[in-house]
Structures are given as structure tokens and as C-alpha cells.
Amino acid sequence: MRKYVLLSIGLTVLVAIFFSACSEESIKYQRYYSDGLNLYKTHCGNCHMEDGSGLGKLIPPLTDTIYLKENRDKLACIIVYGLSDSIVINGIGYKEKMPAEKHLAAVDLAKLLTYVTNAFGNNQGLYDISEVEKNLRNCK
């Protein structure tokens, strides 16, 4: 009997540790996501639209989850330096220039990308500031 009690106490402690770590991460995610939403409205929404739907064949939507996943390490560079190459989103080619947003801090980029990669039907989790900093060092 004593053995079971000890075991269950141990298990509860383990579960509690697991959940507290998890919620710390999820609190950070929530904060990044909601700050990201405001940054998105200020810096991106005019062109990509509040719902991420873009504009005709002029401005691509942000709903191409596969593109976002495959180019995850390039996203910060695209925001900071803009884009002049053509890209294919949801099977449609876009050739217009995307203007650079050079003034954004790494933490804001992390929040923005957390929002973009989790809104509009995307679901790719936290985009941390360390990831942004690492990727920015490799911009072409």
C-alpha cells in the first residue's frame, strides 16, 4: 500500500513539472502571438490584408503552409530585406517586389513570425528570437 502511495505522489509531481514547463512555453507563445498580431496590422496588413489573403496576383496570401514550412529559415530575411525574386505561392507565381522592413528588431520579427506561421490556417508553433537571430546571420 505504502509503495502505491509513494508511486502516485511521484507521478503527480512529474506531471506537475511537465505541465508547468509546458505552460511557461505556451504563455510565451500566447504573448508572441498577440503582440505579433498588432505588429502584423502595423507592418504587413496593408498589403497582405488583415486576413492574410493578399491581393489578386499582385500580393501573395500567407496561407501556403507548405511554403512557410519549407522556407522557415528564410522568412526573417524576406521581411528584413524584402523580395525581388519571383515566388510561387499556392501554385501561383508572384513577381512584384516586396519592400524591405529594415527597422524591425529581432524580437519583433520573432513575434511577427510566430503570428504569421500560426494564423491564417497555419499551425507551426513558437518562432523564437534565437531562431530569428540565427537565420538573420545567413541572409543572402
Partner 1 sequence: MKILKSLLVASASFLLFACNQHHEKLPILGERQTMERMVNGKLEVDTFYQTIPAFSFMNQDSAIINNDSLKNSIYIADFFFTSCPSICPIMSKNMLSVYQKYKGNNEVRFLSHSIDPKHDSIPVLKKYANKLGVTGTQWSFLLGSRDSIYNIARNGYMNYAQENEKIPGGVEHSGYFILVDKDKRIRGAYDGTNKEQVENLKTDIDILLNEYKSAKK
Q: What residues between 89 and 118 interact with partner 1 by CB under 8 A?
A: 99
CB-nearer residue toward partner 1: 98 or 126 = 98
Q: Does 55 bind partner 1 (CB under 8 A)?
A: yes
Which residues are within 8 A (CB) of 24 and not within 5 positions of it... i.e. 6 or more apart? none
CB-nearer residue toward partner 1: 60 or 131 = 60
Specify the DSSP class assigned to residue 89: E
Name which of 93, 28, 12, 13 is nearest 56 in CA terms. Answer: 93
Q: Does 84 bind partner 1 (CB under 8 A)?
A: no
Specify the DSSP class assigned to residue 59: B
Specify the DSSP class assigned to residue 16: H
**Binding partner 1 by CB under 8 A: which of 46, 71, 84, 90?**
46
What does the binding site for partner 1 look like in residue numbers (CB under 8 A)? 45-47, 49, 55-59, 99
